[in-house]
Amino acid sequence: MNRKLLWGVNSIILVLLVISISISYRYLNPSETLMLNCSSELFDRHKGDSDKGRHYLLVDVIAKGKQAQFNYRYFNLDGSSAGNIRMKGSLLNYDSDANKYSFSVKTKEESEVEDEQRQPEHMQYLSYVSSFNLDNKGMHNLSIETLDLDEQKDYAIVLFQPSNTVCGCRLVH
């Protein structure tokens, strides 16, 4: 194999490596900003159709650079706090084609429970699922995919996985 051919092959390999390293770096160090505010009406159906089973939920999703934070704030109908869950983690990947953000949650803080009976079922559910993953795997992976987006009107319909939850959110700038 002559020297010119060797250099040619080496150059091709070098170019391929540079491309793959730059792509790897981009994907391993995603830097996207996502700020969502989602408000929901919660209904605990086993409590029947009474007001006892009704709560409000405000979810704030903040992803900036590699950092990500999820605040779940639960309220009673009178506006008093019914609990909160704060999760922190990192942005693992952003797929621009699918408009999908993948996160890894590493830590979780929950407000102390005074009366579990009064705690919204949605909060119990979220607490259980996230603790299950954090205790067993040391992380709780989730993704947010945009199903419908209108930046003019500042809203997005998103799909949370793996919970398979659709939610309408306000885009925060």
Partner 1 sequence: MQLGSCQFDIQRAQLTNLENGDVWHLPRAELQVLKLLIANRNRIVAKQKLGAADEEHPPLSDSSVTRAVFMLRSFLGPEHEQLIETVKSKGYRLRGEAKHTQWAQMVKLKRGLILGLMIVAIVIAIALVSQFSKSGSTTEPYNVTPLTLLSGQQIKLISYSKSKTNNESLMSVITQFSAGFKGCYSAPWQDIYLSLSHDEQVFNITMRGEKLGQSVVRNLKLSDFRQQKQFISEAWLDEVALCE
Q: Which residues sit at the interface with partner 1, rule CB under 8 A? A: 1-3, 6, 9-10, 12-13, 16-17, 19-21, 23-24, 26-27, 38-46, 49, 57, 95-100, 120-122, 125, 145, 147-148, 150, 153-155, 157, 159, 161-170
Query: Which CB, 41 or 78, lies closer to partner 1?
Result: 41
Query: Which CB, 60 or 88, lies closer to partner 1?
Result: 60
Residue type, 133: N
| Closest distance to partner 1 from the beta carbon of 79 (Å) | 18
| Closest distance to partner 1 from the beta carbon of 96 (Å) | 8
User: What distance lies between CA 82 and its chain's CA centroid?
Assistant: 22
**DSSP assignment of 49-113, as one string?**
TSGGGEEEEEEEEEEETTEEEEEEEEE-TTS-EEEEEEEEEEEEEEETTTTEEEEEEEEEEEPPP
Query: Which CB, 66 or 88, lies closer to partner 1?
Result: 66
| Closest distance to partner 1 from the beta carbon of 124 (Å) | 8
Query: Tokens for 94?
Result: 């952003």
Query: Which CB, 107 or 166, lies closer to partner 1?
Result: 166
Contact 142, 163 (CB under 8 A): yes
Contact 101, 91 (CB under 8 A): yes
